[in-house]
């Protein structure tokens, strides 16, 4: 009998397998907030999958068959400063090297044939620096936290908010970080679960975790409506490049009531 060889896995293949694994084992609570590519350390690092639930934050770093490991050490050192748990999920191609690179506190999981195998168990790291928790919040969220804690604000800069909150109890800042991050990504996380609640999570479903996917869909829908309007206007009214009214409308500096002029109409006017 021939040995079966698994097809090379891309990043979204692994992310889908990871989330299916967590869901099947009921390791995700109903109020779990899932974030695809969550940035930390002043946008210098991007966590592949971040999950916030039950007062715990977990960073999942994915290494696909098409990735290299040259940034892994720096990524793990950074994630350990921000998250309670850190897990590396990788393929058979990288597993041996990943196990050598990862400290004992970091969990290592291998994915093979859509199954997750735990190669190294990590541990929960409770104590974090106040500064790192504050860095995970936006300036507006920091301002709201100051208000919630009845801390007077003399300035409205991020640096001022961080200074005011630096000596707050660690547990207060951790709860605040989980609270505000969950609110910030609630829409995209809920949208994702609504799309996959009755089916196996596929690689393409990971796009639903983008907080801007719905906004982009609305923009594209409006653009299609605009293109349809201009195409109908040109066709139904028989407008040409010499039409002075169309030219005046096109060259108007006022607001674009009907959206941007499509490329084909622009070429006609500039002919």
**What is the rounded average pLDDT of the residues 38-66?**
95
pLDDT at 212 over 80: no
Percent over 90 (pLDDT), the chain? 67
Averaged confidence pLDDT in the chain = 86
pLDDT at 203 over 50: yes
Between 245 and 158, residue with greater pLDDT: 158
125, 69, 116, 123: which is closest to 93 by C-alpha? 69
Which H or E element spans position 128?
none
Categorize the per-residue pLDDT at 189 as very low, low, confident or very high, splitting at 50, 70 and 90.
very high
pLDDT number for residue 54: 86
190, 268, 177: which is closest to 231 by C-alpha? 268
211, 208, 214: which is closest to 195 by C-alpha? 208
Categorize the per-residue pLDDT at 251 as very low, low, confident or very high, splitting at 50, 70 and 90.
low
pLDDT number for residue 125: 83
pLDDT number for residue 1: 45
Within a 13 Å sphere around the CA of 37, how many CA atoms are in the beta-carbon half? 11
Q: How far apart are CA 34 and CA 50, in angstroms?
A: 6
pLDDT at 239 over 90: no
Q: Phi then psi for 202, rounded to 5 degrees?
A: -105, 160
Categorize the per-residue pLDDT at 243 as very low, low, confident or very high, splitting at 50, 70 and 90.
low
pLDDT digits (tens, 9 = 90+) for 105-131: 999 999 998 899 999 999 988 767 899
pLDDT digits (tens, 9 = 90+) for 166-184: 999 999 999 999 999 999 9
pLDDT number for residue 31: 84
Tokens read off for 270:
């500039």
Pairing verdict, β 33-40 and 107-112: unpaired
pLDDT digits (tens, 9 = 90+) for 63-98: 999 999 999 999 999 999 999 999 999 999 999 999
Q: How far apart are CA 213 and CA 231, in angstroms?
A: 27
Q: How far apart are CA 252 and CA 167, in angstroms?
A: 56
pLDDT digits (tens, 9 = 90+) for 127-174: 678 999 999 999 999 999 999 999 999 999 999 999 999 999 999 999
């Amino acid at each position: 009998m021939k040995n079966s060889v698994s097809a090379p896995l891309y990043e979204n293949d692994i992310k889908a397998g990871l989330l299916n694994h967590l869901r099947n084992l009921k390791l995700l609570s109903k109020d779990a907030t899932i974030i695809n590519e969550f940035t930390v350390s002043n946008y210098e690092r991007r966590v592949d999958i971040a999950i916030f639930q039950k007062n715990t934050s977990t960073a999942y770093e994915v290494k696909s068959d098409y990735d290299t490991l040259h940034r892994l050490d720096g990524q793990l050192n950074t994630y350990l400063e921000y998250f309670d748990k850190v897990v590396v999920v990788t393929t058979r191609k990288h597993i041996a090297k990943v196990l050598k690179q990862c400290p004992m506190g970091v969990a290592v999981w291998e994915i093979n044939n859509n199954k997750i195998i735990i190669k190294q168990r990590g541990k929960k790291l409770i104590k974090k620096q106040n500064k790192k928790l504050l860095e995970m919040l936006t300036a507006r969220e920091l301002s709201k936290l100051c208000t919630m804690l009845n801390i007077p604000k003399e300035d409205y800069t991020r640096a001022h908010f961080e200074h005011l909150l630096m000596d707050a109890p660690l547990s207060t800042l951790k709860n605040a970080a989980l609270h505000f991050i969950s609110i910030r990504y609630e829409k995209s996380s809920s949208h994702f679960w609504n799309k996959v609640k009755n089916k196996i999570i596929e690689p393409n479903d990971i796009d639903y975790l983008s907080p801007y996917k719905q906004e982009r869909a609305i923009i594209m829908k409006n653009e299609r409506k605009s293109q349809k309007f201009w195409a109908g206007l040109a066709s139904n009214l028989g407008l040409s490049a010499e039409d002075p009214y169309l030219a005046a409308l096109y060259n108007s500096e006022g607001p674009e009531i009907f959206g941007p002029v499509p490329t084909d109409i622009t070429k006609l006017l500039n002919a």
